Chain A
Amino acid sequence: MTTGDLQARELHPPIPPRRVQPSRFRVDRGTGIGLGLATMYLSIIVLIPLAAIVFRAFDNGVSGFWDTITTPEAWAALKLTILAGLGVAAVNAVFGTLVAWVLVRDRFPGKRLLETFIDLPFALPTIVAGLILLSLYGTDSPIGIDLAFQVSGVFMALLFVTLPFVVRTVQPVLLELDQEMEEAAVSLGASRFTTFRRIVLPNLLPAIAAGTALAFARAISEFGATVLISGNLPLKTQVAAVYIFGQIQNDRPAAAAAVSVVLLLISLVVLVSLDALQRWGRRRG
């Protein structure tokens, strides 16, 4: 397993029923206590706070919520976040698959090292990523590319933090893939490109979709990597997470909560459909 696996793996694998259990519907005392404690922990830390955000966002009803997210600043931040997320997801779908392919099918010196370092964006604190991207693409860039306070800078930062997702979902599938099909296609005269398009790609598509969805969900929620390089310019480079942070600092929790609800909703829709897709794929075998 790798660091990437944890995001890459199916979000909630099926839990098989316990085999030896006299009565399936009687919850014994130990289970009850454990369940109570786990639910309490989860409620205090995750569920109640998230519910509080939803309540706060709809303090002034649905129209109040709508007015808040359609202010020019909030709307621009949401639009930029979603568009950048889609763009980053698309680049990841192509290059992530390519990197996975090279890691599985190619052999070259330093491959083992590369294999380890692919996960670095998951392990590296996001603010460290933000800092190094600003020093590379900032005003005193050593390679002469100044993307600071521009949308393209935000885009590069998001590409950095999402790099491992598609690589890590596609890699295991590619490893398991039976190469006899490809050999058959090649021996029947198919070109390498046709073989890839007709044989390999259909097998990889679910994994590519999963990785891309995870990369998108991560991209729209990213804060640490983008906060420095975006320069926090409202209507220009301000992404939703940075907008929310600003609203909290300015003591406007209602505006922060409304935009948070939109982000939460998008992430949940993406992750739930991904989960449904995987269940469907598993049923089909």
Chain B
Amino acid sequence: MPCNDGAGAVADASRTSTAASRIGLRTVALAYVGLILLLPVGLLFWRTFENGVGEVWNQLTDPSALHAFRITLIVAFFAVLGNTIFGLGASVLLVRHQFPGKRVLNARIDLPFAVSPVVVGLALILVYGPHTSSGGWLADRGVDVIFAVPGMVIATIFVSLPLVVREVVPVLQEIGDEQEQAAWTLGASRPQTFRRITLPAIRWALAYGVVLTLARALGEFGAVAVVSGNVIDKTQTAPLYVGSAYQNFNQQGAYAVAFALALIAILALVVLNLLRPKEHA
């Protein structure tokens, strides 16, 4: 919690003029955050419950909305699974192992941050689309990637790929490898050392990265919109449902599902806040 007591010392030096400027700055900052952030989010809550709680429940239990939530969960599950395993492996590789081209790998992992979600979708269509050679080869073997769940999982993995690695790498660096060396010396195998020494040390950073990945996976819109084809009751995820419902003049449906997604996002923030102090303890 950034409450800086040193601020008091500076303030003492010129208390009278400070009070006015401090309140002025505070007002401007709060007005900005209020206008840009809090007002829109508050409005979402108001709009959602405009027609009562019953209506929200009806919209959320609409079969197409429920199907969209199910698809979202399936896609998010596989994306989180893939990126957790990759994230752990890549972090250990980057911090504990020595190989040529390490900096290149390290930089490439961050690449997804520089790519627009729509561009992610386009890139995947160009490689795995039904009219491409690789996509056609897969389709002949009964694997549809684009306009199907596998493509949506790959798109979600793409956009959330760096999140676990970027949380785990600094912690692995910080804890060093003395304990791991000691365990090896005492005869522990590599998997044993990882499970008993490394994993407990990085568990909060890992949990943090996983929650970030999950939040991103549940909310991804642009990349999934391109590769899914957005077919209602088939490949439509909850965020896609929000967009489609709004454009089809089902505003209550759009607000209800958006509200549910916003609640999940807020829950994720609260969980992240709880994880934070433990990591730095």
Contact = CB atoms under 8 A, between A and B. Distances in A.
A16 B273 CA distance: 29
Contacts of A114: 30, 33
B86 A41 contact: yes
Interface string A21-32: 100110100111
A235 interface: no
A45 B154 contact: yes
A47 B108 contact: yes
Interface in B80-113: 82, 86, 89-90, 92-100, 102-103, 105-113
A5 B17 CA distance: 34
Interface string A102-120: 1111111000101111111
Interface stretch (A68-76, A146-154, A182-190, A203-211): A182-190
B119 A132 contact: no
B232 interface: no
A34 B97 contact: yes
B221 A175 contact: no
A245 to B, nearest CB: 5
A31 B93 contact: yes
Interface in A173-200: 175, 179, 182-183, 186-187, 192
B158 A116 contact: no
A192 B25 contact: no
A192 B17 contact: yes
A186 B14 contact: yes
A171 interface: yes
Given A9-B166, A131-B255, A248-B122, A125 B261 contact: yes
A1 to B, nearest CB: 6
B97 to A, nearest CB: 4
B281 interface: no
A128 B93 contact: no
Interface of A: prevailing SS: helix
B79 to A, nearest CB: 10
Contacts of A156: 36
B86 A38 contact: yes
Contact of A53 (B21, B119, B279): B119
Contacts of B26: 102, 106, 108
Given A112-B1, A123-B215, A132-B40, A257 B243 contact: no
A174 to B, nearest CB: 8
A16 B112 CA distance: 23
Contact of A19 (B40, B97, B170, B177): B177
Nearest to A221: B116
Nearest to A103: B2
A6 B6 contact: no
Contacts of A126: 117, 219, 221-222, 239
B161 A46 contact: yes
A136 interface: yes
B75 interface: no
Interface string B26-68: 1011101100111111011001000000000000000000000
Interface string B196-230: 00000000000010001001001111100110000
Taking each of B99, B109, B276, which has the highest tally of chain A beta carbons within 10 Å of its own beta carbon?
A: B99
Contacts of A187: 13
A163 B2 contact: no
Contacts of B169: 13, 15
A102 B3 CA distance: 11
B97 A12 contact: no
A228 B244 CA distance: 10
Contacts of B208: 1
B127 interface: yes
A201 interface: no
B105 A20 contact: no
B22 interface: yes
A58 interface: no
A127 interface: yes
Interface of A: 1-3, 6-7, 9, 11-13, 15-21, 24-25, 27, 30-32, 34-35, 37-39, 41-42, 44-50, 52-53, 56, 95, 98-99, 101-108, 112, 114-121, 123-136, 142-143, 156, 159-160, 163, 171, 175, 179, 182-183, 186-187, 192, 217, 220-224, 227-228, 240-242, 244-245, 248, 253, 256-257, 260, 263-264, 267-268, 271
18 contacts: A6-B166, A11-B107, A12-B110, A13-B170, A15-B173, A25-B100, A30-B190, A31-B93, A52-B126, A120-B37, A126-B239, A131-B255, A192-B21, A217-B113, A223-B117, A223-B225, A241-B118, A264-B119
